[in-house]
């Protein structure tokens, strides 16, 4: 029961002691993958960017720094009302200027029009989605042709967490997620090892096909454990 409760809090933190502990954990242990997801996205000053499952808002803060021109726009989506409030406080100045807009919603219902986003990133997130295919279809729908999505995670940490009894019944292995991306229409889907400050993590990349290379649907190198 304890591990089941912890898994629920990790997927959707709520106001209270448990949610506060999850917030502190994400602010500490989650910072590396958040910052690197933003770096790997290659966000340009006028990009339109979306973060899924933004948690306490560390990745949003990093991404907002990259958007230095007026057309630059940052969206964030999280289905935890508590995380939505925490991130709203953290990003308040940018929200007030209109540079950042946050949504309290789920990946199955992204409240954006079709083909509006240049970059999407999310960290330690996809394994909480109820339906990988539905989530990937929604992401693909809102992205522009030629857009890039980056997912960061730490596989070894996930393995240890699962071995300890957490994340039960979640689709945490990367392979089903990557398969769902390909089935949805993403191209160049692959996972790569990365390192920052001596710490190893993984990054999954996926692109939306651009008009110029519509005839080229080759995928990138795969990755197996």
CATH number of 2-211: 3.40.50.150
Residues 207 and 44: their CA atoms lie apart, in Å, by 16
Structure confidence at residue 20 (pLDDT): 66
Q: In the chain, pLDDT over 90 holds for what percent of residues?
A: 68
Mean pLDDT, to the nearest integer, of 143-167? 90
Q: What is the mean pLDDT of residues 93-105?
A: 97
In this prediction, residue 5 carries a pLDDT of 59
53: left (phi over 0), alpha (psi -120 to 50) or beta: left
204: helix, coil or strand? strand
Who has greater pLDDT, 148 or 29? 148
| Secondary structure class of 117 (helix, strand, coil) | strand
Task: Count how many Cα atoms sit within 13 Å of the Cα of residue 100 in the half-sphere of its side chain.
Answer: 26
Q: Report residue 10: phi and psi, to 5°.
A: -65, -35
The HSE-up count of residue 103 (CA atoms within 13 Å, CB side) is 16
Residue 151, pLDDT above cutoff 70: yes
Tell me the per-residue pLDDT of 31-60, one tens digit each, with 9 for 90 and over: 899 999 999 999 999 999 999 999 999 999
Query: Which of 9-13, 196-200, 203-207, 221-225: highest mean pLDDT?
Result: 203-207
| 1/64: higher pLDDT | 64
């Amino acid at each position: 029961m304890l591990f089941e409760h912890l898994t629920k809090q990790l997927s959707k933190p709520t106001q209270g002691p448990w949610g506060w502990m999850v917030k502190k954990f994400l602010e500490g242990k989650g910072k590396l993958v958040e910052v690197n997801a933003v770096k790997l996205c290659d966000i340009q000053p006028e990009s339109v960017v979306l973060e899924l499952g933004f948690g306490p808002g560390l990745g949003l803060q990093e991404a907002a720094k990259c958007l230095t021109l007026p057309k630059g726009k940052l969206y964030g989506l999280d289905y935890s009302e508590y995380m939505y409030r925490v991130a709203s406080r953290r990003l308040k100045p940018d929200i007030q200027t209109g540079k950042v807009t946050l949504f309290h919603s789920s990946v199955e219902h992204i409240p954006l029009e079709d083909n509006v986003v240049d970059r999407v990133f999310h960290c330690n997130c996809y394994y909480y989605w109820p339906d990988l295919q539905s989530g990937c279809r929604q992401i693909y729908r809102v992205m522009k042709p030629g857009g890039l999505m980056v997912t960061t995670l730490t596989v070894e940490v996930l393995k240890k967490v699962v071995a300890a009894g957490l994340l039960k019944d979640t689709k945490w292995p990367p392979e089903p997620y990557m398969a769902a991306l390909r089935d949805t229409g993403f191209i160049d889907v692959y996972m790569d090892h990365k390192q920052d400050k001596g710490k190893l993590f993984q990054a999954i990349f996926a692109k939306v096909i651009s008009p110029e290379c519509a005839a080229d649907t080759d995928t990138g190198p795969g990755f197996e454990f």
